[in-house]
Amino acid sequence: MTSAAPPRMHATVVADIPVALLVAVLQVIGSGISLEDDWQLAVSGGQAQRWLPDGIGLLLLLAGSLPLAFRRIAPLPVLALSAAASVAYHATGHRPEPLPLGVLVALYTVAVMLRPVVCNVAAGAYVLAMTLGTLTGWLPFTDDQFYIDLVLIVATVMLGYGVALSRARATLAEQQAAAMAHDLDVRTRAAVETEQARIAREVHDIIAHDVSVIVAQASSARRVFAAQPQTAADALASIEAVGRDALDGLRRLFGLLRTHAAQSERSPQPSLDRLPWLLAQVERAGLPVDLTIRGEPGPLSATVELNAFRIVQEALTNSLKHAGPTRATVVLDYEAETLGVEVRDEGSPQPKDQRSPGYGLISMQQRVTMLGGELDAGPLTGHGFRVSARLPLVGSTP
């Protein structure tokens, strides 16, 4: 099986071949031209003599430049080979080239691709070799040429550091952007899921309650239709009113989902101020309800008001569906830090009164958990059912 590495290596070598050839040509030409010699010949009036290196010198120049085609595959070996060829070229007494281009290009590649400590050690070793060779006379470097080569080596290393740092910063910025995009995607999905759950609760509360009222009143109208037509007509009128309320609630909910809808078109969410209207609607459906308020009612946040209303609505809906002919009691207990909501009915002790944990109870549990409160729901001793919730008021604002 062929891996992806060889094609990439081949492409890298092909891309660096022109660089290696250019450095080889410049070194060969530079070794045969000396501006200092041209100036001295011009002053003395002598004949300018151009010459190229012999076979050994040409071989050393090519040995220090052609390996640059592999500089990005093996940066350190290429630098070592270029430095050794440059030192050997000068040590064999050949005419010094103006600039050690092969060494500079290889050193730049090491500075860009490897860690700074590796580049510093490599550059220091080459400078140390130049220094020892100059002091011992093994390398025929003049003071000016030694200084120029030293400055060029330092400048090359600094340039490589700058390029490597800019690339590292670009890579880090790309990674941070990708991480931010991933985090934003996760938070967006979480927000969408939360909103979907909220919408599901609202749809369930609106549809389940109103449909339960309609079913109860339709059943009552069917039973008394022949004997008490006026009572049946009143029940049908109530069904019509409840149906219109359900449609209005759905329109309000769908209006909230339309992001382009004007704010003025959005009806306010139900609050505890509408509790008498809810109890009257339930009573018309055949379930008498008593309301008890304890403590001193105070301003609540819109979130607490909405969820308290929905809990009462859902509990009464369950009583309508499961309790049979009975009475219900709603208790609101205003305390300093919590709002207590209790709904109980006096359902008959029959098997159908044993209510399963359907979506209604799950919806109430989700609402209470979202506010950090507690919910207790279950059958009473003997008969009946009780739903009790405590909603924290910490941070609630009107």
Read off the amino acid at residue 265.
Answer: E
Mean pLDDT along residues 338-355: 73
Q: What is the pTM of this model?
A: 0.47
Domains of the chain in start order, with CATH, are 5-141 (no CATH), 272-398 (3.30.565.10)
pLDDT for position 20: 80
Asked if the model's pLDDT at residue 306 lies above 70, the reply is yes
Q: Residues, the chain, total?
A: 398
- CB 322, CB 208: distance < 8 Å: no
Query: Beta strands 374-379 and 338-345: pairing type?
Result: unpaired
pLDDT band at residue 181 using 50, 70 and 90 as cut-offs: confident
pLDDT band at residue 310 using 50, 70 and 90 as cut-offs: confident
Asked if the model's pLDDT at residue 147 lies above 80, the reply is yes
Asked if the model's pLDDT at residue 309 lies above 70, the reply is yes
Instruction: List, as one string, the DSSP characters of 81-146.
Output: HHHHHHHHHHHTTPPPPSS-HHHHHHHHHHHHHS-HHHHHHHHHHHHHHHHHHHHHTSS---HHHH
CA distances from 139 to 54, 90, 104, 122 (A): 18, 6, 18, 19
Q: Give the pair of three-digit tokens for residue 88.
A: 């050997």
pLDDT band at residue 356 using 50, 70 and 90 as cut-offs: low
pLDDT for position 253: 64
pLDDT tens digit sequence for 33-88: 544 444 444 444 444 444 566 778 788 888 888 888 888 888 999 999 988 888 88
Q: Which residue has the higher pLDDT, 12 or 146?
A: 146
pLDDT for position 109: 92
Edge-to-edge order in the sheet of strand 289-294:
289-294, 328-334, 338-345, 385-392, 374-379
pLDDT for position 96: 64
pLDDT tens digit sequence for 280-296: 888 887 788 999 999 88
pLDDT band at residue 398 using 50, 70 and 90 as cut-offs: very low
Mean pLDDT, the chain, rounded, equals: 78
pLDDT tens digit sequence for 74-125: 899 999 998 888 888 888 877 666 678 888 999 999 999 988 899 899 899 9
